[in-house]
Structures are given as C-alpha cells and as structure tokens.
Amino acid sequence: MEKRWGKKWALICLFLFNWARNVSSLSVTVSDMECVYEYVLYEGDTISGNFVVVDHDIFWSSDHPGIDFTVTSPGGNTVHSLKGTSGDKFEFKAPRSGMYKFCFHNPYSTPETIAFYIHVGHIPTDHDLAKDEHFNPINVKIAELREALESVTAEQKYLKARDTRHRHSKLLPFSAFALS
C-alpha cells in the first residue's frame, strides 16, 4: 500500500512541478518580425497555447492581411504555421527535444501588441517516477521531525502543568489567610 502511495505522490509532484515550470505568458509588440523561444525537454511533449492581437478591431481595416505565426523545431523544420490571423489556438506534439522558435510576422509597419501564452506538457512514464528508495531518506527525516515535535509538545505540557502547580501553590496561603 505504501509503495503505491509513494508512486502516486511522486507522479503528482512531477506533474505540479512540470505545470508550474512550463507555463509562459507574455505580451509582444510586433513591428516586423518577433520571435519567442521555449525549450522542450522531451520528444513527444505536447506544446499548446494561443495568441491574440490586442485591439485589432480598432486599428485594422478590412484590407489588413493579419499576423503570420510560425513555429520552428530545433532542426529548423516548420511544425506549425498560421497565416493572416488576428489570433488562434495551437497544439502539437514536439517531434524532438530542444529549443523551439515561435515567430510572429506583421506585414504592416504599424506595431501590433500580441498577447501570447504557451504551455509545454509532459506526462511522465514509469522510468521518470521516483523510486521507493529515493523516499527512504525523506521518510527518515519526517520521522525525526515527528519525534522532535512530540518532544517539544511534551515539554510544553510539562511546563504548563508546572506553571499551573506553581500558581496554585502561591494562591493557597493567600486563600487560607483570606478565610480566617
């Protein structure tokens, strides 16, 4: 039973760590071409995200060609591309690990602000999980902390009882004096 919980906690910890580490959100002003880079640790990870041109309704006329979006893999291959859009969502599997390049191209000279979000998701396999022997030192430290806390709690109870006894012993002569 304890082995299963260890693996579940390891999986949960890895998931939370990856989630917090692999989320990026930023705003980019594009005059011509702007690129953002994101490192992907594992082949097969899911790369997802979205982008939106902020205030495009205000500045764009009907003849504006839109923004082009291209994702290039570490090998230089285009893995995702969108042409002439004011924003969209994307998702794909990384064909390999390495540095990915996310580029926005604005064909007009008017600077456009783009809100951009990216997430690299990794689902760990069994070989990625921590083994029970990795948790043994942690479990020993937890047991030591539990014993130290119990010692502190026992000391607090002792001091409280002693304080109560001391207070009663001081009040007894006064109480006897008050009754006479």
The distance between the two most distant Cα atoms of the chain, rounded to a whole number of Å, is 105
Mean pLDDT, to the nearest integer, of 102-120?
Answer: 84
CATH number, position 60:
2.60.120.680
- Per-residue confidence (pLDDT) for residue 133, from 0 to 100: 75
7 falls within a domain: no
Number of domains in the chain: 1
- Per-residue confidence (pLDDT) for residue 170, from 0 to 100: 67
Residue in the block written with tokens 């020993």: 140
Average pLDDT of the residues of the chain: 75
More confident: 16 or 58:
58
Q: How confident is the model at residue 39 (pLDDT cuts 50, 70, 90)?
A: very high
- Per-residue confidence (pLDDT) for residue 16, from 0 to 100: 41
17 falls within a domain: no
8 falls within a domain: no
pTM: 0.56
45 falls within a domain: yes
Q: Is the pLDDT of residue 174 over 80?
A: no
Q: How confident is the model at residue 157 (pLDDT cuts 50, 70, 90)?
A: confident
- Per-residue confidence (pLDDT) for residue 77, from 0 to 100: 93
141 falls within a domain: yes
Asked if residues 155 and 163 have their Cβ atoms less than 8 Å apart, the reply is no
Lowest-pLDDT choice from 27-41, 70-84, 97-111: 27-41
Mean pLDDT, to the nearest integer, of 70-84?
Answer: 92
Asked if residues 103 and 67 have their Cβ atoms less than 8 Å apart, the reply is no
- Give per-residue pLDDT as tens, 86-95: 888 999 999 9
14 falls within a domain: no
130 falls within a domain: yes
Q: Is the pLDDT of residue 29 over 90?
A: no
- What does 28-82 look like in DSSP terms, one character per residue? EEESSEEEEEEEE-STT-EEEEEEEETTHHHH--TT---EEEEEE-TTS-EEEEE
Domain range for residue 74? 23-172
Reduce the DSSP state of residue 85 to 3 states and report it: strand
- Give per-residue pLDDT as tens, 132-145: 777 788 888 888 89
2 falls within a domain: no
